[in-house]
Amino acid sequence: MDFQQTLATLPTADHLRGLDVVDGAGAVVRHIPAAPGKMGSLRVYHALADRFGGRLDAEAVAQGLAWFAEHVADARDRPGAHPNIDLLLNPATPARGWRLVPLAV
């Protein structure tokens, strides 16, 4: 399935103003806003939060990369072009104990 087909299967994020990725101390390490150009990432990360109980562990990372589909290759070829995918591609991410916190409107 490509990214657009996957998005069609994920819950909407219209009820969110964004999502924070937080570290073990509660500091925000990444914020994904509900903004044009970010809604696909917000929907993926929101679905990951739902499916994995807010954990960003190895299983959640693998699922996120699968959902981002064809955009993962582009992210590998152009580091920095897709920061929300870059986060998942970082080998240290699963071991950091980060959490996904959806932010209601």
6 confidence band (pLDDT: 50, 70, 90)? very high
Three-state DSSP state, 9: coil
Burial (Cβ within 10 Å: 0-12, 13-18, ≥19) of residue 42: buried
Give the closest residue to 100 by CA, choosing from 37, 66, 51, 67: 51
Q: What is the pTM of this model?
A: 0.96
**For position 46, what pLDDT does the model report?**
98
**Alpha-carbon gap, residue 15 to 67, rounded angstroms:** 21
**pLDDT tens digits along 29-85:** 999 999 999 999 999 999 999 999 999 999 999 999 999 999 999 999 999 999 999
Closest CA to 26 of 103, 105, 97, 104: 97
Q: What pLDDT is recorded for position 8? A: 96
